[in-house]
Amino acid sequence: MNQTVQFIQNNGGEMLYKTWEHLYISIIAVILGILVAVPLGIALTRMKKGAGLVIGIVNIIQTLPSLAILAFFIPLLGVGKVPAIAALFFYSVLPILRNTYTGILGVNKNLLESGKGIGMTAGEQIRLVEFPLAVPVIMAGVRTSTIYLIGWATLASFIGGGGLGDYIFIGLNLYQPEYIIGGAVPVTILAILIDYLLAVTERKVTPDGLQGLKNVS
């Protein structure tokens, strides 16, 4: 315990920087995942045959070992934060894509027919009906993806991406538990805080009517 306290005292400033570095890598990857997966998930709901194939391919990518994905990007992008973000982006896509697809398909068809009846275009139906109603399901995917990525971002240290994984791997290489604790505990705290913030965001963006239904259920 004394060694851990001393480690924090000696490395407090650097720990804050590595925490920010870790969060930066994770959040950028999630944002890229949202920008790709949400429109793709909506587009797949309009496809009768290709949706299962696309989701299957993304599922296969998700099963590839994290280190293999990181190693794959080194010849293409070198080392550092860029290949780390690119690798994490691949892992961010599946939960968001799957939940977007499920959420949009789950919208009540009677509501869509009502939208058509009042003259809504396909784009207006997506923007004003389908997407708002699917937001809780989509946000659940975003939360899952973000928490996964905060954990997986520790592997960015292998390719010079920085973050709290640096402490974990230094501790493993030097057999110094204080380094492992100094990296693992902030990652856990970061995941809990981000999950809470996303839960609050989910409540904010969920339509009031749906919140009422959730409370009743």
Looking at per-residue pLDDT, the higher value among 217 and 121 belongs to 121
For the chain, how many structural domains are there in total?
1
Contact 134, 53 (CB under 8 A): no
Domain membership flag for residue 9: yes
- Answer whether residue 188 shows pLDDT above 90: yes
Q: What is the 3-state secondary structure (H, E, C) of 18-32?
A: HHHHHHHHHHHHHHH
Domain membership flag for residue 175: yes
Domain membership flag for residue 217: no
Other C-beta atoms closer than 10 Å to the C-beta of 116 total 12
Overall average pLDDT of the 199-203 stretch? 86
**What pLDDT is attached to residue 216?**
34
Supply the pTM of this predicted model.
0.84
Overall average pLDDT of the 10-15 stretch? 79
Domain membership flag for residue 215: no
pLDDT in tens, 137-159: 999 999 999 999 998 898 888 88
- Parent domain of 180: 2-209
Confidence of residue 208 (pLDDT cuts 50, 70, 90): low
pLDDT in tens, 28-72: 999 999 999 999 999 998 887 778 888 888 888 778 787 788 888
Other C-beta atoms closer than 10 Å to the C-beta of 86 total 17
Return the CATH number at 77: 1.10.3720.10
Contact 138, 201 (CB under 8 A): no
Joined tokens for residue 190: 């970061």
